[in-house]
Chains A and B, each alone.
Chain A
Amino acid sequence: MKNFNYIQPKSLKEASDILKKKPHEAMLYAGGTDALGLMKQDIIKPEEVVNLKSVPGLNYISYTNGKGLRIGALTELAEIAENPVISEKYPILRHAALAVASPQLRNLGTIAGNLCQRPRCWYYREEFNCLRKGGDMCYAFDGQNKYHCVIGGGPCFIVHPSDLAVVLLALDAKLTVFGDRKTRTVQLKDFFVSPGDDYQHENNLKAGEIITEIQIPELPQDAKSAFVKFRERGVWDFAVVSVGAVIRKEGSKVISGKLAFGGVAPIPWMDESLNAKLPGVALSEEPVAQLVSEILKKAEPLSKNAYKVPLVRNLTKRLLLEL
């Protein structure tokens, strides 16, 4: 690890100014669970480490009846998992938070940090000068790619590692972002960036921008939700694929809903045309089988990851039938 200056800003403005002044040299630091690993492996070598935790007021969970949930960017995953309001109103969020890593990491990792994780691609994490690190090729395309994306890839074929992003997408969340002395609001679905547009960044935060809050709209009383994370090890593992579903139904028929997928694309994946097919689907074997056959229809698996397609379809099928 390279030596760095450790900066403890007192305000968002101060933090943002440093980041803006030194877009390549300064790095924002929150829980540190991913950042430290990246620094130790010399994947990023910041000169200034800006500790956001010294800025007060970014750790809260606040629920207003009828308006929904607001979560401060620095709220730890463990707090989300333990919060009684979240457990009651947004159980899917608790479920996703609990599915992340280990208790120790959940005590440190923050919700905004979870959304801003860097990819787990082993070529990216190892000593390969890959596209995302400024090199000129994606090693996974012709290489070891069982964990890589089956859709939305090219020229880089990562998957986005965040579990929370998948459920937040299905929950239609928004982010508040501070930067340039003002705030903006961005829909989570517009926050992530495909490698086709920019293969060195996973989101559209500009230099100096900091996520300050995650907002989740009120869920209708009758909404049902579920999240499933498929991993190779029982605990402490990244998702091979994951599925989040938020559905309203009447009787056994879906009125409206959203499905979101992790582990299949370089961004947390949502297919609007698929979601448009949800209304009217009866939640029984045949119609659900018909629906899930539409999932990842345009997938272009690499040499070793074709298994992800039936896996996601089967997981979704089971998830919907058990709602």
Chain B
Amino acid sequence: MENIDLLYHARGESKFIDDLRLPSDALYAAIFYSSTGHGRILSLDLRDALLMPGVKAILTSKDIPGENQIGGVIADETLLAEDEVHYAGQPIALVVAESPECARKAVKKIKVLFDELPVVLDPREAFRKGSFIIPPRIFSMGNTSLAWDNCLVIVEGRAETGAQEHLYLETQGSVAYPTDSGSLKVTSSTQAPTAVQRAVSRVTGLPMNKIEVEASRLGGGFGGKEDQANSFAAMAALSALKLNRPVKLVLSRQEDLRITGKRHPYSSDFKLGLDSEGRILAYEVTFYQNAGASADLSPAILDRTLFHCTNSYFVPNVKATAYSLRTNLPPMTAFRGFGAPQGMFAIESAIFKAAEKMGVEPSYLQEKNLLKEGDAFPYGQSAEGCRAKESWLAALETFETGEIKNRIEKFNRENQFFKKGFAFMPICFGISFTNASMNQAGALVHIYSDGSIGISTAAVEMGQGVNMKLRQIASAIFQVSLDKIKIEPANTTRVANTSPTAASAAADLNGKALEKACNELLERLLNAAALKLKTEDKPVIINEEILLKEEKTGLKWEDLVKMAFDERMDLTSHAHHITPGIYFDKLLNQGRPFNYHVYGTGVVEVTLDCLRGTYTVDSLKAIHDSGKPLNPLIDRGQAEGAAIQGLGWLTMEEIAYASKGPLLSDSLSAYKVPDVYFSPGELDIRFLKASDNPRGIFNSKAIGEPPFMYAIGVFFALYNAIKEFRPEVRMDFTAPLTNERLLLALYSKEKNTVTA
């Protein structure tokens, strides 16, 4: 089923924030931000900027009528800096002018003097200084200290993963319009209209009912607009309120790269113990999360790291400790995977190291320790409908991995300077917001008197195809064609108190609410039809025709709707859905946080050019458990996109900060993301057959995040290839594995550890 959105994108007809046509009195804002990572503001000189023709106002924290606070989880983040700045890129003032060019020119005329303070960029340094965002979090199961004695093999080591830029095609942006009665309408490129509404309310001091927030579509989000769209919407709203004119704020790419947070860099220490047969007996891990200058969503992300620290393995004794650490970088934020990739990378590193020590292949240990039905996770939940082994075996069979291995061994024997590497990557990812209260959604459905249907939910279309999935759900229930169904932009006046489109859960949550609302309306319509047809039996609708006992009645969908309208029936329904049976005790760190888990097994093959340190990912294949996919084409697109995004994170995407905090890689000439040339030669993601999921909408499973983690296999496939060239080398587990790290691994003089 084709996603019609794509047609509008291809023709350039889809409207994003910067495409919105504004009234002629609209103004434009630009942000003046800190150029240093940490400093006290000694003076802020706005005079020259204010003198520029076209500049209407320059707003600072003093102009905020409400609270200068946008911290959602913890109130530790100002909208505009007051006395101190805590990261380079931190907004200090807003210039509002007649054109964006004028506003940006004026920004350059603002002068600020800082008393420079010490800058901390490294989470371990922040740990030593005691700069915690929240108290340490510890998940444990069994008793690791008793378990070490039973282990034949124990390995310890460190795993490092870097930041990652979201690089949504549409940069952050918002337009705010003053409306009558002192209200505001805010359109925002946000994954979370309600969060924007809350933030604008807090900053402007207006109650939430005076703030209408709309998100019609996003040019990508990836988590970067779950929390961080709030501040830009609040800035546009503040400006509109102050000047009583519509105000647009859209970041340039460079501003966006500099100001916004990224995926959290993590530094982790692991210790893994196994018995003589390779069964994992104990795992201890400590995560140092680089949270940046304020909490943002870091605590929730930290928890997901802990939830997924054992990936898809059963480990009887676990102690996982996680620290969220405050540094002088932009507040790090949600990004596809939400902390899980960092956690999984650590245990995969530990398994690789253990395999090295035991002289077995990592895949031997991976397979041996896969979760089985009923196995306990370290957080109290146990694996139900576990498909870890099933997907592993399906991958072995489907992709003929035995033959791949033979082919690779032959290739490596015959080639001196080209080496191939191979790795498996099983995944297990829990679906639900880890904050239980966020697992709710609402849907509002109107059937208009001509039979066409309008649907509002909280789901924000950002390229992931959720609108198409919602249309499919309504179409399947009402049995009307897709072209009768329109999905409205997410708007807080239609569906209120919503959760963000995040955690891969939008289709699940909003789809379930929609299902409920549609079923209510269907029930009403079918009762009306029965009345009209004077029957006790229940009619059904098939392909827009009303059938009774499998016979056509001559009554069509439009007739039925018209009739119901004439009978003064309510053709609107609102329904609310909550995920049943989930809870989590944050003191004991036990509960049932996830509605279900997604499983899968990835298989990766790479060829390393050992002279140049370059490589090609020959293939990335996976058997992915997506239940019964709602829309297989969309889901495959999501899985492929996620895998390539993961590939970038592990290989070429390296973010460089200068020692005092400013971002150096602030353009795409310096920050490199995978392009079509870099993508795997063969990208083959297949869905696990005969899977289902009664807990998901129409038996489907969430798709957005889990396939990201297949790319972790690329890192280990490359390590295997390096070892084919240089068997004695013992490497650090540091991602991204850029060309220079690879070259150093291949050629540095030290034989034992290679640190790039």
Contact = CB atoms under 8 A, between A and B. Distances in A.
A122 B665 contact: yes
Interface in B642-675: 652, 656-659, 662, 664-666, 669-670, 672, 675
Given A122-B670, A128-B658, A317-B611, A234 B677 contact: yes
B108 A126 contact: no
Task: Tell me the interface secondary structure of chain B in the complex.
Answer: loop
A126 B35 CA distance: 11
Interface stretch (A10-18, A21-29, A140-148, A211-219): A140-148
B739 A310 contact: no
A63 interface: no
Interface string A226-249: 000010111101101000000000
Contacts of B675: 233-235
Given A234-B677, A304-B740, A311 B664 contact: no
Interface of B: 35, 108, 611-614, 652, 656-659, 662, 664-666, 669-670, 672, 675, 677-678, 738-741, 743-744, 746-748, 756
B672 A122 contact: no
Nearest to A40: B254
B743 A311 contact: yes
B744 A307 contact: yes
Name the residue among A139, A144, A308, A315 with the largest chain B CB count within 10 angstroms.
Answer: A144
A42 B107 CA distance: 13
A307 B748 CA distance: 8
A128 B665 CA distance: 14
Interface of A: 42, 120, 122-123, 126-128, 139, 142-144, 146, 230, 232-235, 237-238, 240, 304-308, 310-311, 314-315, 317-318
A144 B669 contact: no
Given A233-B672, A307-B747, A310-B746, A126 B739 contact: no
A123 B659 contact: no
A317 B747 CA distance: 15
Given A126-B662, A240-B739, A144 B611 contact: no
A318 B659 CA distance: 38
A305 B740 contact: yes
Contacts of B677: 233-235
Given A122-B670, A234-B675, A235-B677, A142 B662 contact: no
A307 B613 contact: yes
5 contacts: A230-B614, A230-B739, A307-B740, A307-B744, A310-B747
Nearest to A311: B743
A233 B756 CA distance: 20
B35 A42 contact: no
Task: Tell me the interface secondary structure of chain A in the complex.
Answer: loop
Given A122-B656, A232-B652, A310-B747, A237 B612 contact: no
Contacts of B672: 232-233, 237
Nearest to A233: B672
A293 B217 CA distance: 57
A199 to B, nearest CB: 20
A265 to B, nearest CB: 17
A3 B744 CA distance: 47
Given A122-B665, A127-B662, A233-B677, 15 more contacts: A122-B670, A123-B664, A126-B658, A143-B658, A144-B664, A146-B738, A230-B612, A233-B675, A234-B675, A235-B677, A238-B669, A304-B756, A307-B613, A311-B612, A311-B743
Nearest to B652: A232
Given A142-B659, A315-B611, A306 B748 contact: yes
Contact of A318 (B611, B613, B657): B611
Contacts of B659: 142-143
Nearest to B613: A311
A315 B740 contact: no
A42 B104 CA distance: 13
B658 A123 contact: yes
A234 B677 CA distance: 6
Contacts of A144: 656-658, 664
Name the residue among A42, A305, A306, A318 with the largest chain B CB count within 10 angstroms.
Answer: A306
A146 B743 CA distance: 12
Given A233-B672, A234-B678, A122 B740 contact: no
A106 to B, nearest CB: 16
Name the residue among B664, B677, B743, B756 with the largest chain A CB count within 10 angstroms.
Answer: B664
Given A120-B669, A232-B738, A310 B743 contact: yes
A127 B614 CA distance: 32
Contacts of B670: 122
A141 to B, nearest CB: 11
Nearest to B656: A144
Nearest to A314: B611
Contacts of B739: 230, 232, 240, 307
A256 B739 CA distance: 33
A120 B667 CA distance: 12
Name the residue among B108, B613, B669 with the largest chain A CB count within 10 angstroms.
Answer: B669
Nearest to B254: A41
Contacts of A307: 613, 739-741, 743-744, 747, 756
Nearest to B670: A122
- By Cβ-Cβ distance, the 5 closest A-B pairs, closest first, are A234-B677, A314-B611, A307-B743, A310-B747, A307-B740
Contacts of A120: 669
B744 A126 contact: no
B612 A126 contact: no
Nearest to B35: A127
Contacts of B669: 120, 237-238
A126 B747 contact: no
A238 B743 CA distance: 18
